[in-house]
Structure 1
Amino acid sequence: MDISEIVIRGDTPGVEWRLPVIRFKGSDAKAPKIYIQAALHANELPGTALLHFLCEKLRQADADGKIFSDITIVPQANPIGTAQSHFGELQGRFDLGSRTNFNREFPLIGLSERETLIDDLERYPVVEQLKRQLLHMALGADLMLDLHCDDESVQYTYVDEAFWPEAADLASALDMEAVFLADGESSAFEEAVGYAWKHETAEKAKRLPGRLAVTVELRGTRDVYPDMARKDAEGLWRFLVARGAVGGAAATIEPYRGKVTPLDNIEMIRAPQAGAVLFHRDIGDTVAAGDLLATIITTPGMEGGAIDIHAPQAGLVATRTSQRFARRRDNLMKIACDEPTKAVRKPGALEA
C-alpha cells in the first residue's frame, strides 16, 4: 500500500489543500484498474465511511498477496468543500467562491487528451485544479466508482446506458433498490469519465465493454453508521472479487432484481407554493397514480391554507428532501416510474 498527497495551492497566499490518495499495487497486469472516490460533495459521507472499512480489507489482502488490480482510493475527494462552513453548517455541494456545483463542469475531453488535464495546473482556479487532478486519476482506470448520497434516499445508482446491463453486478452487490439510466449528457464527474472513454477514437463508442463509470448514491446524508458502512464495504468487496480485482472466496452475486428507470421516467415532485411540508409517503414506498404524497401548509391557520400534492403516476419513491420548509419549485421527491414523465426535461443531470 502506498499513501501520498496531492498538494494544490490555493488562490490566495499562504493557503494550500492536501488530497490524500491511497494506492494498492496489483500483481496481474490484465486485471482491471480500479478508481474509487468519495465525498466529492464534501457533506456526503456514507462513501467515506464505506472506504474506511474497505481499506481494512484491502490492507489484509495486500498482506496476503491477493491484490490483482491496481486500485486507487480517494476517501475524501474534496478538501476545499470540507473546509466550507457557513454559520456552523458544512457547505459541501457548491463552491462558495464560484457558486458552482463541485460535481459539475468537469472537462469533457477525449481519452488521448488525458495528460493535458494536469499541464500547467496553476493557471487554473483552485477548484478547477482539484477537478482536473481527480479526472486525471480516474481516466487511468477501467472501473470508476464515484460514491455519493442523496438527502433522504433508498440505495440507488446513476449508470450511463453505455454501461448497462454490464453494471448489474455492482447494483446487485450493493443491494441497490433502483438504477437510474443516465443519458451521458452532463458534465458531472462520472459522465466526464464516460465521455473520455466514448471519445477514445474518432468514432464515438456506444458500448464500453470492460469499463464502468457510475455514481453510487449510498442512501441519505444521515445514513452514516458502522453497520451500514461495513455492509456496503462487504458488498463492494464482493464486486471486486467477482471482477477479478482481488482474491477471496468465490463471490456469489445474484441477478439484479431492482427497478431500472431511464431519467426521462423520473417524476421530480416540486412544491407549487412555499410553506411547511407534511409528507404522507416515505422513501421506498410504492405509490399509485393519484396517491397523496405531501401537504404544504401555505397560510397556517387559514381556511384553505394548505395544498395537497398527488402522484402523477405510479412508481417508487426513491428520494425525499429532509427539509420541512419548501420554497416555490423546490424539489420534494423523486419517483421512479415505468412511463415517461409529461414534464419537460433537459438532457443531463436531474438537479443542479
Structure 2
Amino acid sequence: MQTSEIVIAGDTPGIEWRLPVIRFKGSDAKAPSVYIQAALHANELPGTALLHFLCARLRKADEEGAILGDITIVPQANPIGAAQSHFGEMQGRFDLASRTNFNREFPLVALDDRESLLEGREALTAVNRLKRELLHMAVGADLMLDLHCDDQSLQYAYIDDAFWPEASDLAAALKMEAVFLSDGESTAFEEAVGYAWKHEGKAAKKTRLPGRLAVTVELRGRCDVYPEMAKADADGLWNFLAGRGVVRDDAFVATPYEGPAFALDNIEIIRAPQAGMVLFHRDIGDTVKEGDLLATIVTRPGMAEGDIEIRAPQEGLVATRSSARFARRRDDLMKIACAEPSKAKRKAGTLED
C-alpha cells in the first residue's frame, strides 16, 4: 500500500487543501485497474465508511499477494466542501464561492486528451483544480466507482446504458434494490469519465464499453453511517472486485442481480406544490399504486382546509424521500421508480441539481 497527498493551493494567501490518495499495486498487468472515490459531496459519508473497512481488507490482501489489478482509492474526495460550514452545518454539496454543485461541471475531454486536464492548473480556482485532479486519476482506470448517498433512500445506482447489463454484477454484489439507467448527458463526475472513454481514439463515439464501468453508487441515506452496515457494503464491493479479477478470492461465488432497472424517464419526482409542513404517508421501499396518498402538505396549521394531498401519479417503488419536514414550493419530496415513463418533461442529464 502506498499513501500520498495531492496539494491544492487555495484561492487566498495562506490556504491549501490536501487530498489523501491510497494506492495498491497489482501483480497482474492484464487485470483491470480501479479508481474508487467517496464524499465528493463532502457531507455524504456512507462511502467513506465503506472505504475505511475495504482498505483494511485490501491491506491484508496486499500482504498475501492477492491484489491483481491496480487500485486507487480517494476516501474523502472533497476537502474544500468538508471545510464549508454555515451556522454549524456542513455545506458539502455546493461550492459556496460559485454556487455550483461539486458534482457538476467536470471537463468533458476525450481519453486521448487526458493530460490536458493538468495543463494550466495554476490559473484555475481551487475547486476546478480539485475536479481536474480527480478526473485525471479516474479516466486512467478501467473501472470507476463514485460513492454517494441520497437523503433517505434505498441502495441504488446511476448506471449509463453503455455499461448495462454488464454492470449488474455490481448491483448484485452491493445488494442494490434498484438501478437507474442514465443517458450519459451531463457534466457529473461519472458521466465525464464515461465521456472520456466513449471518445477514445478517432473512431465514432462508442455506445458500448465492455470491460469498463463508470457508476454513481447511492449508499442509502446520509445518516446511514454505521460500522456493521459499512462492513457489509465493503464486503459487497470486495466481491465485485473479486468477480472482475481485480483481487483474488477463491471463495468468491457470483450471484445474479434480480432487482429492477429503471430508465431515468421513468422516475417520478414528487414536488411540493406549496410551502408547508410535510406529513408523509409512505416510506422508502413501499410500492404504491396510482392515486395512493403519498404526503399531506399542511399549509395553514390548525385549519384543515389548508391541507394539500399529494398522490402517486402512477404505480411504482418509493426509492427516495426527503428528511425535511418543512418544504418550500417545488421542493423535492420523493422519487418513485416506475414501469412507465413520467408525463413530466425532463431534460437530459441528472435528475436534480
TM-score range, shorter chain: over 0.9
Give deviations 1:279-330, integer Å, cap 9, x for gaps: 0000010111110000000111124110000000000000000000000000
Question: What aligned pairs does 1:150-189 form with structure 2 within 5 A after superposition?
Answer: 150-189=150-189
Report % sequence identity: 74
- Whole-angstrom distance in 1 between the partners of 2:254 and 2:262: 21
- Whole-angstrom distance in 2 between the partners of 1:132 and 1:208: 23
Aligned pair 1:75/2:75, yes or no? Answer: yes
Moved more, 246-255 or 16-25: 246-255
Question: What aligned pairs does 1:248-327 form with structure 2 within 5 A after superposition?
Answer: 248-327=249-328
> What is the CA distance between 1:32 and its match in structure 2?
0.3
Question: What aligned pairs does 1:1-352 form with structure 2 within 5 A after superposition?
Answer: 1-202=1-202, 203-352=204-353
- Whole-angstrom distance in 1 between the partners of 2:250 and 2:299: 57
> What is the CA distance between 1:201 and its match in structure 2?
2.5
- Whole-angstrom distance in 2 between the partners of 1:179 and 1:71: 25
> What is the CA distance between 1:249 and its match in structure 2?
2.8
Give deviations 1:58-91, integer Å, cap 9, x for gaps: 0000000111000000000000000001000010
How many residues end up aligned between the 2 structures?
Answer: 352
C-alpha contact 1:111 1:196 (8 A) present in aligned 2: yes
SS of residue matched to 1:40:
coil
SS of residue matched to 2:129:
helix
Amino acid at match of 1:314: E
- Whole-angstrom distance in 2 between the partners of 1:316 and 1:254: 23
- Whole-angstrom distance in 1 between the partners of 2:222 and 2:76: 15
> What is the CA distance between 1:253 and its match in structure 2?
2.5
Q: Which runs of 5+ in 1 are unaligned?
A: none
- Whole-angstrom distance in 1 between the partners of 2:217 and 2:334: 18
C-alpha contact 1:3 1:23 (8 A) present in aligned 2: yes
1:303–1:285: structure 2 CA closer, same or farther, 3 Å change rule? closer
Amino acid at match of 1:319: T
C-alpha contact 1:35 1:143 (8 A) present in aligned 2: yes
Q: Which 4+ stretches in 1 moved above 6 angstroms? A: none
> What is the CA distance between 1:120 and its match in structure 2?
2.2
Moved more, 72-81 or 251-260: 251-260
- Whole-angstrom distance in 2 between the partners of 1:249 and 1:272: 54
Amino acid at match of 1:30: K
Amino acid at match of 1:182: S
Q: Which runs of 5+ in 2 are unaligned?
A: none
SS of residue matched to 1:267:
strand
- Whole-angstrom distance in 1 between the partners of 2:304 and 2:214: 51
> What is the CA distance between 1:250 and its match in structure 2?
3.3
Moved more, 243-252 or 195-204: 243-252
Note the aligned Cα RMSD (angstroms): 0.6
C-alpha contact 1:241 1:250 (8 A) present in aligned 2: no
- Whole-angstrom distance in 2 between the partners of 1:34 and 1:250: 21
- Whole-angstrom distance in 2 between the partners of 1:326 and 1:113: 44
Amino acid at match of 1:274: A
